[in-house]
Chains A and B, each alone.
Chain A
Amino acid sequence: MRTLFYPRLAWDGIRKNRRLYGPYLLTCVCMAAMYYILGFLASPAALALLPRGKSSVEMILTLGRYVMLVFSLVFLYYTHSFLIRRRQREFGLYNVLGMGKRNLMRIVTWESLITFALALAGGLLAGLALSKLAELGLVNLLGGQVDYRLRLDAGALAGTAACYAAIFALIWLSAVIRTYRSSAVSLMKAESVGEKPPRGNWLLALLGAGLLAAAYWLAVSIDNPLDALVWFFVAVLMVIVATYLLMIAGSVRLCRMLQRNAGYYYRPRHFISVSSMAYRMKRNGAGLASICVIATMVLVMLSSTTCLWFGAEDSLLSRYPREINIDVRMNDPAQLNDANLNLFREAIAEFVPQRGAVLENVQDYRFINLSGMLKGDTLQCDYERAGARVRYGDLRDVCVISAADYAAKTGAPLKLSRGEAALLVDKMRYAMDGIALAMGDIEHRWTVKSVQKGTLVEPYAGVALPRVTLIVPDLAEAIEGFELTDAKGLQKAQIQWIYGFDTGLSDDDNSRLAYDMELELAARLFEDSEGSGFRSFTVEDRADGAADFFGSYGALFFIGILLSAVFLAAAVLIIYYKQISEGYEDAKRFEIMQKVGMTKPEIRASIASQLLTVFALPLAFAGLHLTFAFPMIRRLLTLFSLYNVGLFARTTLVSFAAFSALYALVYLLTSREYYRIVSGAA
Chain B
Amino acid sequence: MLLEVKGLRKVYRTRFGNRQGDSRVSVEALKNVNFTVEAGEYVAIMGESGSGKTTLLNILAALDKPTSGTVLLEGRDFSKIPEREVAAFRRDNLGFVFQEFNLLDTFTLEDNIYLPLVLAGKPWPQMREKLTPIARTLGIEALLKKYPYEVSGGQKQRAAVARALITSPRIILADEPTGALDSRATDELLKLFAEVNRQGQTLLMVTHSARAASRAGRVLFIRDGEVFHQLYRGDATDALFYQKIVDTLTLLAKGGDRA
Decide whether A and B assemble into one complex: yes
Which residues of B lie under 8 Å from residue A214 when comparing CB positions?
A: none
- 8 Å CB contacts to A: which residues of B77-120? 84, 86-88, 90-91, 96, 98, 102-108, 111, 114-116, 118-119
Q: Which of B107, B116, B118, B150 contacts A267 (CB 8 A)?
A: B118
Contact A597 B148 (CB under 8 A): no
Question: How many whole Å from B193's CB to the nearest CB in chain A?
Answer: 19
A682 to chain B, nearest CB (A): 11
B147 within 8 A of A: yes
Q: Which residues of B contact A601 (CB under 8 A)?
A: 84
Q: Known A262-B124, A595-B96; judge A194-B147 contact (CB<8 A).
A: yes
Known A-B contacts A275-B106, A589-B106, A602-B87; A596 and B149 likewise in contact (beta carbons under 8 Å): no
Chain B CB count within 10 A is highest, among A197, A276, A601, A602, for A197
- B96 and A599 form a contact (CB under 8 A): no
Chain A residues, CB < 8 A from B127: 266
In the bound complex, residues from chain A placing their C-beta under 8 Å from that of B111 are 271, 275
A279–B106 alpha-carbon span in the complex (Å):
7
Task: Please name the residue on chain A nearest to B123 by beta carbon.
Answer: A266
Q: Is A266 in contact with B106, judged by CB distance below 8 angstroms? A: no
Cβ contact within 8 Å between A196 and B149: yes
Do B107 and A596 touch across chains, with their CB atoms under 8 A apart? no
Contact residues of A between 245 and 293, Cβ < 8 Å to B: 262-263, 266-268, 271, 275-276, 278-279
- On chain B, which size bracket covers the interface? 20 to 34
A269–chain B nearest beta-carbon distance, Å: 10
Across-interface contacts of A595 in B (CB, < 8 A) = 63, 96, 98, 102
A254 CB to nearest chain B CB (Å):
16
- Are B87's CB and A266's CB within 8 A? no
* Residues in A neighbouring B63, C-beta threshold 8 A: 595
- Please report the C-alpha to C-alpha distance between residue A149 and residue B86 in the assembled complex, in whole angstroms: 69
Instruction: State how many angstroms separate the Cβ of B67 from the closest Cβ of chain A.
Output: 22
CB-based A-B contact count at 8 angstroms: 70
Q: Report B147-162 residues with CB < 8 Å from chain A CB.
A: 147-150
The one of A195, A276, A279, A596 in contact with B163, judged by C-beta atoms closer than 8 angstroms, is A596
Nearest CB of chain A from residue B154's CB, rounded to whole Å: 15
Q: Is the CB of A266 within 8 A of B118?
A: yes
Q: Determine whether the beta carbon of B124 is less than 8 Å from that of A266.
A: yes
Q: Kindly list chain B residues whose C-beta atoms are within 8 Å of the C-beta of A602.
A: 87, 119
Q: What residue in chain A is nearest B100 (Cβ atoms)?
A: A592
Nearest-neighbor residue (CB-CB) of A274 within chain B = B106
Q: Is the CB of B90 within 8 A of A597?
A: yes
User: What residues of chain A lie closer than 8 Å to B234, measured between beta carbons?
Assistant: none
A375–B84 CA distance with the chains assembled, in angstroms: 79
Structural contact, A197 and B119, CB atoms closer than 8 A: no
Q: Most chain-A CB neighbours within 10 Å: which of B114, B116, B124, B148?
A: B124
B121 near A: Cβ within 8 Å? yes
State A595–B102 Cα separation when bound (angstroms): 8
Q: Is B96's CB under 8 angstroms from A268's CB?
A: no
B124 touches A263 (CB 8 A): yes
Bitwise interface map of B from 203 to 222 toward A, beta carbon under 8 Å scored 1, else 0: 00000000000000000000
B116 with A597: CB separation less than 8 A: yes
Contacts of A593 in B (CB 8 A): 104
Chain B residues with Cβ below 8 Å from A592 are 102-104
The residues of A that contact B106 with a CB separation of less than 8 Å are 197, 275-276, 278-279, 589
Compute how far the CA of A34 lies from the CA of B96 in the bound complex, rounded to whole angstroms. 57
Q: Is A598 an interface residue (CB 8 A)?
A: yes
Instruction: Decide if B87 touches A598 in the complex (CB within 8 Å).
Output: yes
Does chain B have a CB within 8 A of A4?
Answer: no
Contact indicator A268/B116 (Cβ below 8 Å): no
Q: Which residues of B contact A591 (CB under 8 A)?
A: 102
B117–chain A nearest beta-carbon distance, Å: 8
A388, CB-defined interface residue at 8 Å: no
Q: Which of A266, A275, A601 has the most CB of B within 10 A?
A: A266
Q: How far is the CA of A682 from the CA of B27 in the complex (A)?
A: 22
Contact (Cβ within 8 A) A266 B114: yes
Provide the bound-state CA to CA distance between A120 and B231, in Å. Answer: 71
Task: Give Cα distance in the complex from A596 to B108, angstroms.
Answer: 16
Q: Are A596 and B124 in contact (CB under 8 A)?
A: no
Given known contacts A592-B102, A593-B104, is B90 in contact with A271 (CB within 8 Å)? no
A194 to B148, CA, bound (A): 7
Are A195 and B105 CB-contacts (below 8 A) given A266-B118, A271-B115, A599-B87? yes
B116: chain A residues at CB < 8 Å are 596-597
Whether B121 lies near A597 (C-beta < 8 A) is no
B44 CB, min distance to chain A CBs, angstroms: 21
Please name all residues of chain A whose beta carbon is closer than 8 Å to the beta carbon of B163 when the two chains form the complex: 596
- A602–B88 alpha-carbon span in the complex (Å): 11
Q: Residue on B with the closest CB to A259?
A: B111
Alpha-carbon distance A262/B110, docked complex (angstroms): 12
A162 within 8 A of B: no
Does any Cβ of B come within 8 Å of A70's Cβ? Answer: no
Interface residues of A in 229-250 (CB under 8 A from B): none
A596 touches B148 (CB 8 A): no
Instruction: Tell me the complex Cα distance, A557–B88, Å.
Output: 58
Within 8 A of B (CB), among A484-508: none
Q: Which residues of B contact A597 (CB under 8 A)?
A: 87-88, 90-91, 116, 119
| C-alpha spacing A193/B121, complex, angstroms | 32
8 smallest CB-CB distances across A and B, nearest first, come from A194-B149, A597-B91, A599-B87, A592-B102, A266-B124, A271-B118, A275-B106, A262-B124
User: Known contacts A194-B147, A597-B91; can you find 8 more A-B pairs with CB under 8 A?
Assistant: A194-B105, A194-B148, A197-B108, A266-B118, A267-B121, A271-B111, A271-B119, A278-B106
